[in-house]
A and B are shown apart, each in its own frame.
Chain A
Amino acid sequence: MNAALQLAGLPSSGTAPILTVEAARKVFGGLVAVNDLSFDVLPGELIGLIGPNGSGKTTMLNLISGALKPTAGTISLDDRRISGAPPHVIARSGIARTFQLVRVLPSLTVEENVIAGAVFGHMRLWGGDAKDFAHSLLARVGLVGRADMPTTALTYIDQKRLELARALAGDPRVLLLDEWLAGLNPSELQIGIELIGALREEGRTIVMVEHVMDAIRSLCDRCVVMNTGTKIAEGAVGDVLSDPEVIRAYLGDSDA
């Protein structure tokens, strides 16, 4: 589509954002989990959504994917409002995600798990086409030759790979990764970072909630930092991580 534009490096300031979050707010009873958060994601960008535990990152991702409906605010994909729509409508409009606690479909085979991502989205693949596409994605994430296995035979990182393949199977316009790198050992982490890096190279737009600082530094174009539901910083990774307020949020007052 606009791969040429996406591969031309960092998007210029004139590019229209693909995903817009405007004053998104989510309240659970008396708790404001996401407090009027706004940010834009440009096509081909990899945005890191970071912040201390409990700062509302996953809730923000849930608002985008439709798992939760915002209390107020607007989220748009390509100028089309998606906030408030049910998750299947949002998925079909081109947003795919992985989950913080990996969610594979246990009674389906590895291959079927991937096909699940391609059948109901805008691809609407079925039969042989869906199988071929699933096999190419399994190769893409490093699961060659595992197609007919039960998911119970997969290791943790392979389950994560499988979940990523399922998300990619929908050919999403925006891919949401919720701590996809969490729980991996150092060598797996390196593989994981390379895989996400390769996705960015091919022009995927990605929003990634992450705690692994190595990954954030090496992968993200920009970061949005959250603390107790509020955006406290946004910008290039190096700038954001040296921001005194961000350091205070992570480490407490005395270290700032």
Chain B
Amino acid sequence: MIRPGAHEIRMGVLAALGFAAIACLPLFDDGYYLSLAVNIVMYVALCTAWTLFSGPTHYISLATAAFFGIGTYTVGIGIETMPFGALLAIACVLSGFVAALVGLATLRLSGVYFVIFTLGLAELVRQVVTWVQTNFTTGIGLYVFTEFTEKHIFWMLLGLTAVIYLTGWAINRSRLGFAMRIIGNDETVAAHVGIDTARAKVLLFIVSGAFIGIIGAILAPRFAYIEPPSAFNPMISFQVVIMALLGGTRRLWGPLVGVIPFTIVFDAVSAQFPNHTSILMGLAFLAVVYLIPNGITGWIEALVAKLKGGEAAPARKTRWIA
């Protein structure tokens, strides 16, 4: 295996210090800023998990809401009978399992079929949950009462984000990560050098989906009352795609750069003009499509390469499969 270089160890120490500093935030504020911070960390975790799969494959997945909702519902159903930690594990396994099924069924198809299917999946799961609840249980919603406060949710999300980053880093250094880079470049070549492209994609989709499921589970106590339209809200899927693309998906930390400004602006806009948040999403989407196809990080990297002078490798526009 490749040993971590001095540069990587230094970055790792810096990142650990950064996480430790951020983890102190609840000691200073437990009101508005903590709540905003939970939103930011949630979307950083979601977008980074999404990018684990969609970054290298260039497949746009709109299944985020499905995995998120599976996680949320796992907690909603089991909170009375099981410890929270066990529910997180179940959410991880369940959403990973659904990701495996979806992956096996759709990743052989490519292009727009995958996008549509993943969008439909969230709706399908939502309808199934609604049907089960209306026919077999007393009410449509579930209450989640726990001892957790905002700061506990914040710490859990932050810890999970660290795990997601470490996983992404480990994958990038592994054969699987190298295989994904080759697949992202040219799937025909990938198959002809011996890569089982379908298996690699399904594996990564499972990892990504499982993480998103855990995020949904962690967020369940924050909702307190869970019902299908909120747990399987398709807006989550769209926001994740837009923020991740805005930040850029070529680096593991790319989505972070998109999430922080977007979430802050989104929060401000929704406080002032609650019915006009879709305009913000539309504008961000237009910016991604027309101005910064490789996201903010891609744009910065191109700029740095230009400033350094010399022949910068021409930035290739990412071809998204949609």
Contact = CB atoms under 8 A, between A and B. Distances in A.
Interface of A: 65-67, 86-88, 91-92, 96-97, 99, 103, 105-108, 112, 115-117, 119-121, 126-127, 150, 152-153, 166, 170
A73 to B, nearest CB: 21
Interface stretch (B28-36, B282-290, B310-318): B310-318
A30 B178 CA distance: 40
Given A150-B313, A166-B193, A126 B175 contact: yes
A120 B193 contact: yes
A105 B182 contact: yes
Nearest to B179: A120
B194 A170 contact: yes
A91 B2 contact: no
Contacts of B184: 107
Interface residues on B, range: 20 to 34
Interface string B1-20: 11000000000000000000
16 contacts: A65-B192, A66-B191, A66-B192, A67-B192, A96-B192, A96-B193, A105-B185, A106-B185, A112-B181, A116-B178, A117-B193, A119-B175, A119-B178, A126-B1, A127-B1, A152-B313
Contacts of A66: 191-192
B175 A91 contact: no
Contacts of A108: 181-182, 185
A88 to B, nearest CB: 5
A121 B193 contact: yes
A150 B311 CA distance: 11
B188 A103 contact: yes
B181 A107 contact: yes
Nearest to A87: B191
Contacts of B190: 88
A44 B316 CA distance: 41
Interface centre among B1, B195, B314 (most CB of A within 10 A): B195
A115 B179 CA distance: 11
B186 interface: yes
Given A105-B185, A108-B182, 4 more contacts: A66-B191, A66-B192, A88-B192, A120-B193
B189 A107 contact: no
B301 interface: no
Nearest to A92: B194
B317 to A, nearest CB: 12
A66 B195 CA distance: 13
A120 B2 CA distance: 16
B194 A153 contact: no
Contact of B194 (A67, A103, A121, A152): A121
Contacts of A97: 192
A86 B185 contact: no
Contacts of A92: 194
Q: Which 9 A-B pairs have the closest CB atoms?
A: A120-B194, A105-B185, A91-B194, A87-B191, A150-B313, A121-B194, A92-B194, A88-B196, A88-B191
A91 B185 contact: no
B277 interface: no
Contacts of B194: 88, 91-92, 120-121, 170
Interface in B150-197: 175, 178-179, 181-182, 184-186, 188-197
Contacts of B193: 91, 96, 116-117, 119-121, 166, 170
Contact of B316 (A88, A107, A115, A166): A107
A107 B184 CA distance: 9
A106 B185 CA distance: 7
A127 B2 contact: yes
Contacts of B179: 119-120
B182 A91 contact: no
Contacts of B316: 106-107
Interface in B302-322: 311, 313-314, 316
A112 B175 CA distance: 12
Nearest to B318: A107
A86 B196 CA distance: 9
